[in-house]
Amino acid sequence: MLTVNSDKHSLMNRFHAPSKENRMIVIVPRSEWDDWLTCRNPELARSFMRPYPAARMDAEPAPLRLKEKV
């Protein structure tokens, strides 16, 4: 799994404590899969390691779990 810094990502930077490093997985768009999988140039390969656009992502809060009575 490849990750990139998400400190400046408007959605993913909310998921870590302020003192922790913000990371997110690299999402390679389907239209770039062949280029990514066949890439032999290290510089070009690094160009795929970028944050996925926040505008193309959706997120919602998980429902709160009630504590079980013991």
pLDDT in the model for residue 67 = 78
Interatomic CA distance for residues 64 and 11, integer angstroms = 20
Domain boundaries, the chain: 3-56
Backbone angles phi, psi at 35, to 5 degrees: -65, -40
pLDDT in the model for residue 65 = 82
pLDDT tens, 12-52?
988 877 778 889 999 999 999 999 999 999 999 999 999 99
pLDDT tens, 55-69?
999 988 888 887 777
Contacts 24+ apart (CB under 8 A), 65-68: none
Torsion of CA 35, 24, 9, 33, to 10 degrees: 10
